[in-house]
Structure 1
Amino acid sequence: MRGERGAMMWKPLDERVECTLCAHRCHIQSGAYGICRVRRNVNGELHTLIYGLVSARNVDPIEKKPLYHFYPATMSYSLGTVGCNFRCAHCQNYEISQATIEDIHLVEISPERAVSEALSMGCASISWTYNEPTIWFEYTYDSAKLAKAHGLATVYVTNGYITEEALTEISSYLDAFRVDIKGRENVYRKLCKARLEPVLASTKLAFDMGMHVEVVNLIIPGYNDSEEDIEWLCRWVLDNLSADVPVHFTRFYPHYRLNHVEPTPVLTLERAYEIARRMGVHYPYIGNVVGHPYENTYCPVCGTVLIERKGLYANLKLEKPECPSCGNPVPIVGLEEGS
């Protein structure tokens, strides 16, 4: 079968198998599928069904991920497949994340072809995005290993539900971990059919392993928009990661099963930004509000504009990772490599 091969990250349990790839740790009967619907028990062995199968392929500005401190103003070769281990009621890519292999057109792109195309298109990185990359583990692992050998940076745009075992396995080949922290436990239970703790654990592990981490918090009115919600997230980042980790507060728009919820007021996003700055987060951002000054990167010491943004366009006002006005070190990956 096209795209099918033996999977990594599992162990046998009599006639069942336990998938150890994500925090659901599915126990899968013979012939059955995991929650992601792309991993199947075939006669007591776990198989992936989506190796090399691509639903979406684009060359995106890295700012679209969003990654603001990782090779800014460069392009990223971006790939997605099908399926997800979450059931987010507000998913913006539900056409592929909640689809099955039979539902949509998928093309085959080998790791070798992906890396070759990324290089020929002048990209600085490869991103696995659009749907959850963890469930595409075998393909992203092989591709990341090859990409690193050819000088490309590698990016997971992820919900963070990967296990410690799987993240450790790929850690040598993964540079950036752009993670959604969607809110507190009630948000994960109500909107995603998942749990918060594994997301926090993997995010801290990625940071401790030396990956570049940026956090995105989509603020949904009535779910995670209180001052207590924002303060909780900021405190967690400060206590477990670093004041220098970028935190993106992004605007929700009605979509999928939350199309009855109003868009996030800009004032709510501005309040989140100001709370983050007050609490000591050095690099908060507002997202999905094109042209807002809180899209820009400012020196946390002297306030100089370091990167000016308008949507996906970034104008760099520094040539190395330090403020040109006061010399304060600025944690931006890639500037010394000539971004």
Structure 2
Amino acid sequence: MGGVLYATGYGKLSAVEVRPIEIKPLFHYWPNSLALTYSNYGCNFYCPWCQNNHLSYARPPEQGEVTPLEELVELAILSGADGLSASFNEPATQFDYVVDATLLARERGLYSMVVTNMYYTESALRKLVEAGVDGFSADVKGCPGMTRALKGVSHEVVFRNARAALDLGAHVEMVYLVVTNTNDSEDCYKWIVDKHLDLLGTDVPLHVNRYYPAHRWREPPTPLSKLMEIREYARRSGLNYVYVGNVGDPELETTRCPRCGKVLVRRSGYRVTYFNAVREEGKYKCPRCGLTIPIRGRYVP
């Protein structure tokens, strides 16, 4: 307007609430902590099964109130949260606000993480990490050759950025929502797992999550047999930490030592119910065999 570019949605938040970090899902980042989760409006994707479509496909109100950064961070502290989480809609749509909130949160001793489709430039990613975002719950939506949805998306970009985030020192966990008759073919899941191994390695967790009908997509929920098929392929291929989510089975969300098999973390209802990794010199290790377990941050009892 008048030759000046304005972020008209800056600070116009659509939701603010305290949620467990495990619900993001992040299982190896500040286990059992609470994050003040905030969102605004819009998305750079159109997923027709989006459960948050009322936020992702809406515009910020023109006369909406702006939530001051100080108020957001103070609310996190007063509510007992350990950090901030930009979530619900795509955080990149409120990029400036996320960066500013992260900078202030870091000053107050809070972590910052994002739930994201990881679809933006590497320079934007670098700015997020430099500001203090060190946790990424990164959604991989599918694979090359998808025809029913997201046909214009290069899924290579998601893995490129996940690799870049790791190289910048951030923590990354990949989330694969397995949508029935859409991104669940053998060719598709093998491409995702193989790309994960090639670019991210064996220790980056993979969450294989069940889809349920939402918004415009009416395919039936993902069969458990399909989720287990993908899980077994990922484990046979060499991934050390593969979880199955949205099914409510604590056993499928349990962390075991990949070397000796000892149970290290049990989870139920998005909370940690048992934690048995030993912290030594800032790293968590298996108490039986001593293997270093990739966990960022501290366990919050």
TM-score (norm 1): 0.82
- Residues in 2 aligned to 1:233 and 1:190: alpha-carbon distance in whole angstroms: 17
In structure 1, the residue matched to 2:236 is 278
1:227 aligned residue (186, 211, 215): 186
Equivalent residue, structure 2, for 1:83 = 42
1:139 matched residue in structure 2: 97
Tell me if structure 2 keeps the 8 A contact 1:87–1:193.
no
1:279-298 equivalence runs, <5 A? 279-298=237-256
Unmatched 5+ stretches in structure 2: none
Secondary structure at the aligned position of 1:175 is classed as strand
For residues 24-35 of structure 1, what are the structure 2 equivalents within 5 Å? none
CA distance in 1: counterparts of 2:60 and 2:300, whole angstroms: 40
Q: How does 1:126-165 map to 2 (within 5 A)?
A: 126-165=84-123
**Mind listing any 5+ residue stretches in structure 1 that lack a counterpart?**
1-41
Note the 1:158-177 alignment, pairs <5 A. 158-172=116-130, 173-177=132-136
Q: Where in structure 2 are the equivalents of 1:250-261 lying within 5 Å?
A: 250-259=209-218, 261=219
Query: What is the aligned counterpart of 1:69 among 10, 25, 28?
Result: 28
Equivalent position of 1:203 in the other structure: 162
Given that 2:82 and 2:110 are in contact with CA atoms closer than 8 Å, whether structure 1 keeps it comes out as yes
Q: What residue is the counterpart of 2:258 in the other structure?
A: 300
Residue 81 of structure 2 is aligned to residue 123 of structure 1: yes
Out of 18, 32, 56, which is 1:97 matched to? 56
Letter in 2 for 1:324: P
Q: Which has the higher contact order (CA 8 A, sep 6+)?
A: 2
Q: 1:221 to 1:127 in 2, by over 3 A?
A: same
Aligned 8 A contact 2:84 2:112 in 1: yes
Question: CA offsets per residue over residues 157-216 of structure 1, 9 Å max, x none?
Answer: 101112112112222121111110111133488237533233222222111111100000
Deviation (angstroms), 1:304: 1.2
Instruction: Tell whether the 8 Å contact from 1:88 to 1:192 is kept in structure 2 after alignment.
Output: no
- Give the TM-score, by structure 2 length: 0.92
Partners of 2:148 and 2:2 in 1: how far apart? 33
Alignment identity in percent? 38
Distance in 1, Cα, partners of 2:65 & 2:236: 48
Inter-partner Cα distance in structure 2 for 1:308 and 1:45: 52
**Corresponding residue for 2:277?**
318
Amino acid paired to 1:196: H
Distance, in Å, in 2 between the alignment partners of 1:97 and 1:240 is: 29
The one-letter code of the counterpart of 2:295 is I
Q: Distance in 2 between matches of 1:189 and 1:204?
A: 27
Instruction: Give the whole-Å Cα distance in 2 for the aligned partners of 1:309 and 1:53.
Output: 34
Q: Is the 8 A contact 1:82 1:99 kept in 2?
A: yes
- Mark the CA change 1:265 to 1:175 in structure 2 (over 3 Å): closer, same or farther: same
Classify the secondary structure of the residue corresponding to 2:10.
coil
User: 1:106, CA displacement in angstroms?
Assistant: 5.0
